[in-house]
Amino acid sequence: MASFSKGTSFTDGVTGDVTAAKLHALVDAATPVQGFITDRTAEATVASDDVLLISDTSEAALNKMTVANLFKAELTGTINSTAGTITALTTGTGSAASPAIVPTGDTNTGIFFPAADTIAFAEGGTEAMRIDSSGNVGIGTSSPSANLQISKSTSQTNIDNAAQAVAILNTAADTGGNLTGIRLRQQNGINDAQSFIGLSSTGNSATRANLVIAAPNTSGNATERLRIDSSGNVILTGNKSLISRGAGGVSTNSAIGEGALQANTTGYYNTANGVNALFSNTTGYANTANGVNALYSNTTGVNNTANGLQALASNTTGYSNTANGYETLYSNTTGYNNTANGVSALYYNTTGQNNTANGVNALYSNTTGYLNTANGLQALYSNTTGVYNTANGYAALFSNTTGQNNTANGQSALVSNTTGFSNTANGVSALYSNTTGNYNTSLGFQAGYGANGTNANTTGSNNTFIGNEAVGTSSTASNVITLGNGSIATLRCQVTTITGLSDRRDKKDIAPLSSGLGLVNLLKPVSFVWNARDGKKVDVPEIGFIAQDLQEAQAQSGLNVPNLVHDDNPDKLEASPATLIPVLVRAVQELSEKVSQLEAKLKE
């Protein structure tokens, strides 16, 4: 067969140019020779306008195609290499917007090569997946850091329609018990084990399906450990519980919450529930902490119980403390045997011990005071170092700071006491105004305080006030016993006298009264009707003395009777007529002497 080259023309010896039919006839008559193409020497270069002759299948036309057009042509059909091997198909790198390999009619969907040893897939001009040089597969990410990393950036607030990064669907008929999920398996020939997380169908359209988590049993087989049903119930199977041992892994510890028992080393029998509960505990044991930062600073303290946000948060080595409520015993460090129930109860206690506080802010300011008991809102609120105090009732002993051995029972009882000691107040507002007075006892509503604070005891000591609004002669009077208020009309008792100490051995400077008749003659017994200015006693008839008359009689007679008139409170004079008995006796004696003298004269 003749060779042809570019520009060659030939005829078949008859007439005319070569036609398609003649060329086909020539090819059909030719005998193929091995190496028809391969024994030709390739051109050193191929120009874009080099021509390749092509005959169509009908042999009706002869066409030509340049090299440039050949590379632009679309390849369709099937590539079938039976005579040899296709070793490589080379293309450009492309991009997500313009992939190197695309389907017909969709130029922004296909395959591209963004980096060495990396293949990526684009959809709609956006990268959808890639396999990097490490073999990591990334979907939704261009920098996968795991064998398979799936990322999703779509924001969705409706959980039931949330954008899905991974969806596993099971469309099998639901007959109950169908499992859909992910099985994890470790298979290394030594510790073969598998687990499962997914949905377990119920066969009931009302309850739908349950979320099931299965973990390996001792044989390595997946066994259900936890189930969350359609009602939101969390069900632990096999009589197990949610357990974290905390740091150190001590089997008798239980920790739930970030940072719970974070620093534990060998401490045991500890329970921590809440973020940072028992965070600093190292060797402390038998502690219970429920709440954020509860027993946060405890290191070696033992037998402590803290329930509430930051309860016993500062405790380090203190032991046997109980704190229930927000920031109860918050500042306690080494104090022990304290009990606090109520928001901020014993808040500032540091080293104080054996204190009991029940109520919001009870014993709030106590620092080192010990053996105090406070029951009620703000009871013993200001106490700092006072000891052996007992306060029961709202604001009882509220202002006490260093006072000790005080007992207050009732709302606002001893509320103003600061440093006064050994006082006992029973009743609402009893000894309300007492500040530094000592050894006072009050029993009754506002006993020792009075009506609106009139003559309320402040600094007076060794007073006893019994009855509603019973008060002394003044706010500073001491050594006074008061029975009842100004409304009292009758004192009732089985006996009519009061016994007092009168032992000669307890007296000195004993001398007889020189006169009594002079004072008695100046006394002015009167009848009158009460018209008390405070309204307590009105229109009550009585007989007796007037305090001002008694003062005048003493002045005129020159005989002063101690405690006959009490003028500590000039606005409210008081009298003790019983102190006149010795004077009356002396007056009778004087009259008796005169009678004896008269009788003697009559006998002469």
Confidence of residue 63 (pLDDT cuts 50, 70, 90): low
For the cut 60, the answer to whether the pLDDT of residue 154 exceeds it is yes
Secondary-structure percent of the chain, ordered helix, strand, coil, rounded to 5: 10, 20, 65
Average pLDDT over the chain, rounded to an integer: 85
Other beta carbons within 10 angstroms of residue 56's beta carbon come to: 11
Going by C-beta distance under 8 Å and a sequence separation of 6 or more, which residues neighbour residue 467? 443, 444, 447, 482, 483, 484, 485, 488
The sign one gets for the Cα dihedral 89, 92, 98, 99 is positive
**For residues 233-258, average pLDDT:** 79
Going by C-beta distance under 8 Å and a sequence separation of 6 or more, which residues neighbour residue 141? 149, 150, 151
Of the two residues 176 and 69, the one the predictor is more confident about is 176
Which of the listed ranges 168-182, 379-393, 509-523 does the model predict with the highest average pLDDT? 379-393
What confidence score (pLDDT) does residue 30 get? 56
pLDDT (tens digit, 9 = 90+) per residue, 344-376? Answer: 999 999 999 999 999 999 999 999 999 999 999
Of the two residues 270 and 473, the one the predictor is more confident about is 270
Confidence of residue 6 (pLDDT cuts 50, 70, 90): very low
Go through 368-390 and write b for each residue having 16 or more CB atoms within 10 A of its CB, e for each that does not: ebbbbbbbbbbbbbbbbebbbbb
What confidence score (pLDDT) does residue 27 get? 57
User: Which residues are paired to 33 by β-bridges?
Assistant: none
Which of the listed ranges 156-165, 175-184, 399-408 does the model predict with the highest average pLDDT? 399-408
Confidence of residue 33 (pLDDT cuts 50, 70, 90): very low
Task: Supply 123's token pair.
Answer: 């959809």
What confidence score (pLDDT) does residue 496 get? 83
Task: Supply 359's token pair.
Answer: 């109520």
Question: Can you give the pTM of this predicted structure?
Answer: 0.64
Which of the listed ranges 124-133, 147-156, 199-208 does the model predict with the highest average pLDDT? 124-133
For the cut 80, the answer to whether the pLDDT of residue 207 exceeds it is no
What confidence score (pLDDT) does residue 208 get? 73
**For residues 105-129, average pLDDT:** 94
List of E strands, 113-162: 119-123, 126-131, 137-139, 148-150
pLDDT (tens digit, 9 = 90+) per residue, 87-98? Answer: 666 788 999 999
Cα–Cα nearest to 419, from 399, 443, 392, 439: 399
Q: Which of 71-75, 198-202, 572-576 has the lowest mean pLDDT?
A: 71-75
For the cut 80, the answer to whether the pLDDT of residue 307 exceeds it is yes
Q: Is 160 left (phi over 0), alpha (psi -120 to 50) or beta?
A: alpha
Of the two residues 417 and 494, the one the predictor is more confident about is 417
**For residues 304-324, average pLDDT:** 97
Q: What is the dihedral of CA 486, 487, 493, 498, to 10 degrees?
A: 10
Give the DSSP per-residue string, 476-525: T--S-EEES-TT------SSS-------GGG--S----S-SHHHHHH---
For the cut 80, the answer to whether the pLDDT of residue 406 exceeds it is yes
What confidence score (pLDDT) does residue 46 get? 57
For the cut 80, the answer to whether the pLDDT of residue 168 exceeds it is no
Confidence of residue 209 (pLDDT cuts 50, 70, 90): confident
Task: Supply 159's token pair.
Answer: 């959980």
Task: Supply 320's token pair.
Answer: 């046997």
- Domain ranges in the chain? 20-72, 94-150, 179-236, 513-588
Confidence of residue 321 (pLDDT cuts 50, 70, 90): very high
Rounded percentage of the chain residues whose pLDDT exceeds 90: 59
How far, in Å, CA of 347 to CA of 336, rounded?
Answer: 14
